[in-house]
Each structure stands twice: as C-alpha cells, then as structure tokens.
Amino acid sequence: MALIVQKYGGASLATPEKMLFVADRIIKEKNKGNQMVVVVSAPGDTTDNLIEFAEKLAKEPDSRELDMLMATGEQQSIALMSMALIEKGYKAKSFTGMQLGIMTDTKHTKARILDIKGAGKIKQALKDGYICIVAGFQGMTQDEQVTTLGRGGSDLTAVALATAIKADVCEFLKDVPGVMTTNPEICKEAKKIDFLSYDEMLELSSGGAQVLYNRSVEFAKNYGVVLHVRGTFTDKTGTIIKKEDSGMEKTVVSGITYNKKEAKITIKGVPDRPGIASYIFNKIADGDVNVDMIIQNVSDKGMTDISFTVFRKDLGKAKKLLDPIVKKIDAKGYFVDENIGKVSAVGVGMRTHTGIASAMFKALAEKKINILMISTSEIKISVVVLEDQVEDAVRALHAAFKLGKKKASAE
C-alpha cells in the first residue's frame, strides 16, 4: 500500500465525462489498496475566463480580489470530483486551501507556500477511509486572506502536500505518456523519457517545455520528493523525476526543448565601464522583465554592443525601460529582432562527455541553420536561431543525438 498524491490539470476536468473518467482513474488506484490524495486544478479554461471577466471590469484588477475570484475555480473542481466519487460508492471529501491551512506569504497572485498546518486533517481522513480531494493553486496568509500561487500553481500544491504528508510519490497525470524527448507535434520520433534529474526537468522547462510548474520542481528538489509524470489514459509508467544518480549520466542528451516566443534586443555603442551592465540589467529586472541570454561583444575604442533576449510578450515593457536606460548610460541606441527562437539540448551527461557543443553546431550547420547566439550551462546548450528555423533545428538535434523512437526499440 502506498500513499499517493495525484494531480490532475484543468484539461482533464473540463467536462462531466472527463471528470467521471478521472474519478474512475482515482478509484483504480484506491482499489489497489493505496491511500489517495488528489489535487485538482480549475475545470478547463475556468481561470482564464475568470481573469477575462475581471479585466472587463477593471484594467488592473485589485490583486486581493483577483485571488478571491481565481480561487473559486479550484473550489468547483474539488466539490464536483468528490460528488462523482461518492456517487460511485466511495468515501470522498473535498478540502480548500484555507481548510487545510496552506499558509503562504502575502504576495497576491504569486504567493509562496510557507507551511501546511492542516496536514493532520488529511492523515485523519485517509485513516477514516476517505479519498481526499484538495484544491490546488490556493492558500491563505497569516491574517486569513485568500492567495494564489501563480498560474499553474496547482503543481506546487501537489508537491508541497506530498512533502507535508510524506507521500511515497507525487504523480502528475497528463494527456501525454510522460515527459517527451521533444514536442511530438513537431517531431514524430519523439519518445517518452524514463528518468530525469530535477535539474534536467528545470532546464527543460525553462527552455520552453511546458510540463510542470518550475517552482514545483524546485520544491521537489529541495525536499527530495519523487515526481512521476504519467499518462491519464494508460497504466504504464511515465517519467520519474528524482535525485540525479550515476546511471543518468549515461544519456548525454535527454531532451531538446525550444521556445519560439523570444526577442533579441541589442544596445549599440555602450560605454565599456565597470557598473554599466549592472545598471542596465538591474533596471530591467526592477521593471519585471526576465532576461535570458546575454552577450557582450569585444570592446572597440571603449565602446561595446550588448545583446540579450527576453520573452516577446515582455517586449513592450522592455522598450519602455530601454529609452531612459540608453539615455542615462549614453549609449548610441538599441534595436530589436523579434523573429527569433531558442533551441536547447539538455542532459546531465554533458558534465562528463565532451564534444556535445560541436556535435550540436555541426548538426545545425548541415541543415544550413545560422546560429545567432549561444549560451551554455553545465547541463544545457542553447542556441538562438531565426524563428522559422526553430522546428528544423529541433528535428536536426533530435536526430543528431539519437533521441528518436528507433533507438528505443533497438535497445
């Protein structure tokens, strides 16, 4: 018998039929003798729809009230799911974040979990034979204000709860069989990855793969919670995400990830003096714009060019910040390249294998894909290429590192 936390996303809960399917999926695990705690997101597009409604009433809705509103989405799911389970003859009970004492800081719409005071309530309900259905995404502050954890935050609820009740595993049920070597929609050779380290998962998601909320993976890493990303429609094992072990290093590259929605900004004629880069990037960070890659060119006559990438959706904000920055540092100006994307190869094996970068560049060169920027970390190599070459680059790298299905069946 295991204590299992399962998390279901909004897409799996969008209609009564889907809810009933999920109810049966939960029952299947319960009937094996497991204790089940299930974290659910709001049904379908509920959260988006609520935000859209709010934005028709207020340009920037008050964040306390926005949390109060958004938290209702998950409350619908817990009640509906519990009803479905009870109808099928099982004992089930729903819990809101407040009822469980999921304590957070006071940062509305992006709160951090500090403690789960009511973990004992779950333990008791499990002992009494209940399936516990918990609202994801929501918590409360010390003075009982409703908070939410950031978009996609139900993943974080699941991991925090798994930690608090010492669950054996925290499962994320998806419409894919696990974390894939790349997006199967653009590369049909993509296959399921069996094991990933926390760091690989973090790099894959920051590179663009939308699998788990990054903060939930960080939380799991800090507390050593084993994560299992698996398919809703299959019993097969999916991808296990856990602490790195020596076996993982055998795979040099685990996955190829990409993000087409980036933009490159180049500041021209930046005076090459200590403190200038710090000034630029502090101002940009203060303006709430995330900078990804940064490149500074060789200095010529005391002047240099600095290029960096941002998410395209932040471009408007970035431009507003840049006008005064350029003036203040006395640079020549800046220009923007909107049609770029980033492709990354991720794998812990890069630590011990050499030549990965050159293999990557060769594969891209053979497809005549020009590299605009390069950045590396210990377990990731990223390149910026033109947006319309991103998909070709993904396929080329997926093949070059032999991540495709064929290899899997030959093993």
Q: Which residue is nearest to Mg ion (CB)?
A: 10
Task: Name the β-bridge partners of 196.
Answer: 241
By C-beta, is 47 or 96 nearer to ligand ASP? 47
For residue 178, the minimal CB distance to Mg ion (Å) is 20
DSSP state, 378? T
Determine which residue in the list 41, 147, 163, 344 makes contact with Mg ion, applying CB under 5 A.
41
By C-beta, is 154 or 251 nearer to ligand ASP? 154
CA–CA separation, 32 vs 259, rounded Å?
40
Tell me if 212 sits within 8 A of 224, measured CB to CB.
no
For residue 219, the minimal CB distance to ligand ASP (Å) is 14
Q: What is the DSSP string of 284-336?
A: HHHTT--EEEEEEPPPBTTEEEEEEEEEGGGHHHHHHHHHHHHHHHT--EEEE
CA–CA separation, 134 vs 75, rounded Å?
9
Query: Residue 255's binding partner, choosing from ligand ASP, Mg ion, none, with beta-carbon cut-off 5 to 8 A by kind?
Result: none
CA–CA separation, 325 vs 331, rounded Å?
8
Query: Helices 315-329 and 276-286 meet at what angle, rounded to 10?
Result: 150
Site stretch for ligand ASP (CB under 6 A), options 91-99, 146-154, 177-185, 347-355? 146-154
For residue 52, the minimal CB distance to ligand ASP (Å) is 12
Tell me if 334 sits within 8 A of 315, measured CB to CB.
no
Site stretch for ligand ASP (CB under 6 A), options 148-156, 246-254, 339-347, 368-376? 148-156
Q: Is 137 in the site for ligand ASP (CB under 6 A)?
A: yes
Q: Which residue is nearest to ligand ASP (CB)?
A: 154
Task: Name the β-bridge partners of 39.
Answer: 7, 134
By C-beta, is 70 or 369 nearer to ligand ASP? 70
Query: Residue 136's binding partner, choosing from ligand ASP, Mg ion, none, with beta-carbon cut-off 5 to 8 A by kind?
Result: ligand ASP
The tokens describing 119, both together, are 């973990």
Residue with tokens 């492709």: 343
Which runs of E-coded beta strand occur in 13-75? 35-40
Q: Is 238 in the site for Mg ion (CB under 5 A)?
A: no
Determine which residue in the list 44, 61, 97, 136 makes contact with ligand ASP, applying CB under 6 A.
136
By C-beta, is 109 or 375 nearer to Mg ion? 109
For residue 293, the minimal CB distance to ligand ASP (Å) is 27
Query: Residue 154's binding partner, choosing from Mg ion, ligand ASP, none, with beta-carbon cut-off 5 to 8 A by kind?
Result: ligand ASP
Site stretch for Mg ion (CB under 5 A), options 41-49, 77-85, 93-101, 322-330? 41-49
Which H or E run includes 390? helix 390-400
CA–CA separation, 11 vs 44, rounded Å?
5
By C-beta, is 45 or 194 nearer to ligand ASP? 45
CA–CA separation, 226 vs 239, rounded Å?
10
For residue 166, the minimal CB distance to Mg ion (Å) is 27
Residue 291 CB neighbour total at 10 angstroms: 16
CA–CA separation, 100 vs 266, rounded Å?
49
Site stretch for Mg ion (CB under 5 A), options 43-51, 127-135, 189-197, 204-212? 43-51
CA–CA separation, 99 vs 84, rounded Å?
21
Site stretch for ligand ASP (CB under 6 A), options 52-60, 151-159, 248-256, 309-317? 151-159
Each residue 8-47 as x (binds ligand ASP by CB under 6 A) or -, in order, gives -xx------------------------------xx----x
For residue 154, the minimal CB distance to Mg ion (Å) is 7
Label residue 368 left, alpha or beta by phi (over 0 means left) and psi (-120 to 50 means alpha). Answer: left
Q: Is 10 in the site for Mg ion (CB under 5 A)?
A: yes
Determine which residue in the list 73, 97, 269, 341 makes contact with ligand ASP, applying CB under 6 A.
73
Residues whose CB falls within 8 Å of the CB of residue 255, separated by 6 or more in sequence, listed in order: 179, 180, 181, 182, 193, 196, 200, 204, 209, 345, 346, 347, 403
Determine which residue in the list 118, 153, 208, 238 makes contact with ligand ASP, applying CB under 6 A.
153
Query: Residue 269's binding partner, choosing from Mg ion, ligand ASP, none, with beta-carbon cut-off 5 to 8 A by kind?
Result: none
For residue 147, the minimal CB distance to Mg ion (Å) is 17
For residue 41, the minimal CB distance to ligand ASP (Å) is 3
Residue with tokens 């991808």: 239
Residues that bind ligand ASP (CB under 6 A): 9-10, 41-42, 47, 73, 136-137, 151-154
Binding site for Mg ion (CB under 5 A): 10, 41, 47
